[in-house]
Structure 1
Amino acid sequence: MIETVLTSKTLIGFISDTKPFKSITDEYFQILDLDKNGTLSPSELRQGLNNVVAVESEVAPGEETDDVYNAIFERFGEDLGPEKFRDLVAEILTAMARGIGNSPVIMVVHNDGLIMKAVLHESNQGK
């Protein structure tokens, strides 16, 4: 885990840059697709999504987050392939961006998670 500073622009800029966003979400999809069948099961998503995007507290019991995962599969269908996964991640990051707003916030994130990738993407844009 690492502490970083970001704004909504950090996340929206990352999502908007479609080529790197697609590449990174495809990479995470491959990591989460444990059985390598080209779709994510509820079990695979539950096991890995918190490491990719902080969707739940690491201490939250399964039953407290069941509604979140049920809603994901209801919205995106049972066949959560790479494109639907990318759409899901974009929706999650967009919702986070709306919550963050334009004021900088300090957040503790996974070193190799999508939020950190967004921060690194933003810092590389200025170079």
Structure 2
Amino acid sequence: MSVEVLDASTIHNFVEDEEAFNVSVADRFARLDTDHNGLLSFSEMLKELQTLRVVETHFGIDVKPDPAELAYVYNSLFVQFDHDSNGTVDLEEFKEETKRMMLAVANGVGFLPVQMVLEEDSFLKKAVEREYSTRVAL
């Protein structure tokens, strides 16, 4: 984990850079696709969804959520990715939903720089790294 400074433009620029964004998404998809069939099952996606810790923390403090609530949340998140409701997520669905979520985060962050603690392999960290590499190249 590292503390990084970013704003909405950091995220927007990453998503709009089709090459960087698509490579990052395809890489994450390939790592999640443990059976290498080109589709993500609920169990393959669950590991990724659990890293989000959407209900396991409350203002940074670990809490023990109701297992039924947790199952409902994870199922709901999976359904968000499964656009055609066939029980699996293909690369295109994964890419489109990741893009939608990244843009939602950008809208929430706004255009004033904020400091965030980011996981090393997160899409937000990749957005910051992309921004830094383009600044250095200039």
Taking structure 2 as the reference length, the TM-score comes to 0.79
Equivalence for 2:96 = 87
Q: Which has the larger radius of gyration?
A: 2
Cα offsets for 1:33-57 (capped at 9, x unmatched): 1111100111111212454xx4735
Question: More strand per residue: 1 or 2?
Answer: 2
Aligned residue in 2 for 1:63: 71
Structure-2 change in CA distance of 1:26 and 1:115 (3 Å): same
Which whole-Å deviations, capped at 9, do the CAs of 1:71-108 have from their partners, x for residues lacking one?
333x3533311121111110110000010110111111
2:125 match:
116
1: CA distance, partners of 2:95 / 2:14: 12
Code of the residue aligned with 1:89 in structure 2: it is T
Runs (5+) with no aligned partner, structure 1: none
Shift of 1:58: 5.3
What is the alpha-carbon distance in structure 1 between the residues aligned to residue 29 and residue 56 of structure 2?
20
The CA distance in 1 between the partners of 2:129 and 2:100, in whole Å, is 20
CA RMSD of aligned residues (A): 2.0
Matched, 1:3 2:3: yes
Residue identity (%): 28
The aligned length equals 124
Q: Structure 2: 5+ residue runs without aligned partners? A: 58-64
Q: Distance in 1 between matches of 2:88 and 2:122?
A: 23
TM-score, length of structure 1 as denominator length: 0.85
Residue identity opposite 1:38 in structure 2:
G
Letter in 1 for 2:26: D
